[in-house]
Amino acid sequence: MIKLFNNRKDFDYFRNSLTTQSIGLVPTMGNLHKGHISLLEKAIEENDVAIVTIYVNPKQFGPNEDFDKYPRTLDDDIAKISAVALLLDKKKEIVVYAPNTDEGIYPEGFSTNISMGPMTQKLEGAVRPTHFDGVTTVVYRLFTITKAHQAYFGQKDVQQCLIIKKMVHDLEIPIKINIMPIIRNSEGLALSSRNQYLSESERVEALVLPHTLQKIEKLIRTKQDYKTFVYEAKANDKKWDYLEILDSKNLEMPTDKTQEVVIVAAYRMSSARLLDNILVTIASTGK
């Protein structure tokens, strides 16, 4: 069984009843897929109580983005979470906080913005200039509201992960951030709620995204020239918003000290923008 709360007062009353239990947080915008479920499974494995928040955060959508059409599927989400809960150890508990108003997240008159600076303006931030401020602000609120000890995020949104880790470092928020691997469908496409915007033919075409990243990964691993390949891939297909090989620690250009790179890309199709990335450990000899 799971517990479901849709307003702050009831949730707070419950949360304040937890005194000694360890709390793991899985922040989501709902429309759960196997990627989210993998986060939930890890959260419940590592904590006494897992809290899944479901909230489509308006602050992280730009004015011309898909806030209105973003899929809201609370009943399905609850069913999926309940399926996980069926297998639980009796001492464990899954709690869903799905506020039905914005006041469930932001106190009345809220006008605060938490921004992490330059790191929010590149890659996704270059295309979505206010996106990450919306993300850090809502995640900060979720940390405050849930008072979680750990939180779980997906590697698919690698820039988001680094920005959230930076916020936790800078503001010394007492929470551990766990980044879980990308979950893919059988064909290799990284799972995303936005995949459902794709037509059937677009779903096939979208595979160019993971395939290109895999090809670059192979070139890097075998120490072949990947730069020409990336140059040509971008020159020949204008759907790449970006396709870059960066230091996975800070999303800067790799240096001699880089131990791991991330091949990170956004691919813009007519009905959705898709994100993907692959981490590659660099041998200690350098580039």
Choose one: 59-67, 91-99, 169-177, 236-244; the region binding a copy of itself (CB under 8 A): 169-177
Q: Which is nearer to a copy of itself, 5 or 106 (CB)?
A: 106
Query: In terms of Cα–Cα distance, which of 47, 46, 45, 67 is closest to 56?
Result: 67
Selecting among 36, 131, 149, 169, the annotated active-site residue is 36
The Cβ of residue 79 has, within 10 Å, a number of other Cβ atoms equal to 11
In 10 A of CB 206, how many CB atoms? 22
Least gap, CB of 109 to a copy of itself (angstroms): 8
Which of residues 44 and 158 has its CB atom nearest to a copy of itself in the complex? 158
Whether 150 and 43 have beta carbons less than 8 Å apart is answered as: yes
Number of residues this chain uses to bind a copy of itself (CB under 8 A): 22
**Integer-rounded Cα radius of gyration of the chain:** 20
Q: Is 271 annotated as a binding residue?
A: no
Assess 196 for contact with a copy of itself (CB under 8 A): no
Asked whether residue 31 is marked as a ligand-binding residue, the answer is: yes
Q: Nearest 5°: phi and psi at 121?
A: -105, -5
Residue 173 or residue 233: which is nearer to a copy of itself going by CB?
A: 173
Whole-number Å distance between alpha carbons of 102 and 80: 24
* 78 to 16, 127, 180, 195, 215: CA distances (angstroms): 23, 33, 22, 20, 38
* Min dist. Cβ of residue 115 to a copy of itself (A): 5
Does 169 bind a copy of itself (CB under 8 A)? Our answer is yes
144 contributes a contact to a copy of itself by CB under 8 A: yes
24 strand-pairing partners:
50, 150
What's the Cα-to-Cα distance from 39 to each of 45, 54, 153, 186, 223, rounded to whole Å?
10, 14, 7, 19, 33
Q: Is 256 annotated as a binding residue?
A: no
Stretch that binds a copy of itself, among 31-39, 87-95, 167-175, 269-277 (CB under 8 A): 167-175
Cβ atoms 8, 104 nearer than 8 A: yes
Tell which one of 45, 76, 103, 170 touches a copy of itself (CB under 8 A).
Answer: 170
In angstroms, rounded to a whole number, what is the distance separating the alpha carbons of residues 118 and 96? 34
Instruction: Please say if 149 is a catalytic residue.
Output: no
Contact between 233 and a copy of itself by CB under 8 A: the answer reads no
Bridge-based pairing of strands 176-180 and 150-154 is: parallel
Site string for a copy of itself, 99-138 (x = CB under 8 A): -------xx-xxxxxxxxxxx-------------------
Tokens 């709620």 found at? 193
Q: Is 80 within any annotated ligand binding site? A: no
Q: Which range touches a copy of itself (CB under 8 A), out of 42-50, 72-80, 161-169, 254-262?
A: 161-169
Annotated binding site for (R)-pantoate: 60, 160
Residues catalogued as catalytic:
36
Q: Interface with a copy of itself by CB under 8 A: which residues?
A: 106-107, 109-119, 140-141, 144, 166-167, 169-172
Annotated binding site for beta-alanine: 60
